[in-house]
Amino acid sequence: MTGEQTIQKLNWLDEEHRRDRVAITELNAKIENYLPQINGLTKGLQDLEERLARVQGQSLRYSQIESALAQLKTEVNVMFEQADRRAQQRESEYLQVRVLDRRENRRGRTEPAIHSERPRRAQAFGRRAGRVYSRH
């Protein structure tokens, strides 16, 4: 290699080195510009993680509430079914008393009444419904 070639090569290397330093300076400036954004995103991510933890805690409570409501709904349905059965039974007993009353009324037209039939019917109905009425 001649002296002139060496000088050209050194100039070329100096120019490449200068370009590299300019590129490094530009990249450092970009990094400095991105740091506040990165810090803001990091803080935002931490806030989101905290909110997620709170929401997960709330969702657990909501699932417990939903479970309790489902159990309550089941219990209320059972209570309504029991009330319906009792009402049907009372209606059936009432109809039976009416049938007995009609029979006695038909019999009463043909036979003279010795005693009043109303207290006996009320007493019969009361026994069936779980109550006892007095004849007073």
The residue among 80, 94, 83, 81 whose CA lies nearest residue 129 is 94
Single-letter residue type at 83: A
% of the chain surpassing 70 pLDDT: 80
Tell whether the model's pLDDT for residue 129 goes beyond 80.
no
Return the number of other C-beta atoms located less than 10 Å from residue 136's C-beta.
Answer: 4
pLDDT digits (tens, 9 = 90+) for 21-50: 999 999 999 999 999 999 999 999 999 999
Question: Which token pair is 61?
Answer: 């409570």
Tell whether the model's pLDDT for residue 136 goes beyond 50.
no
Return the number of other C-beta atoms located less than 10 Å from residue 125's C-beta.
Answer: 19
The domain segmentation of the chain, as residue ranges, is 3-128
Provide the pLDDT for residue 120.
57
The DSSP call for residue 115 is S
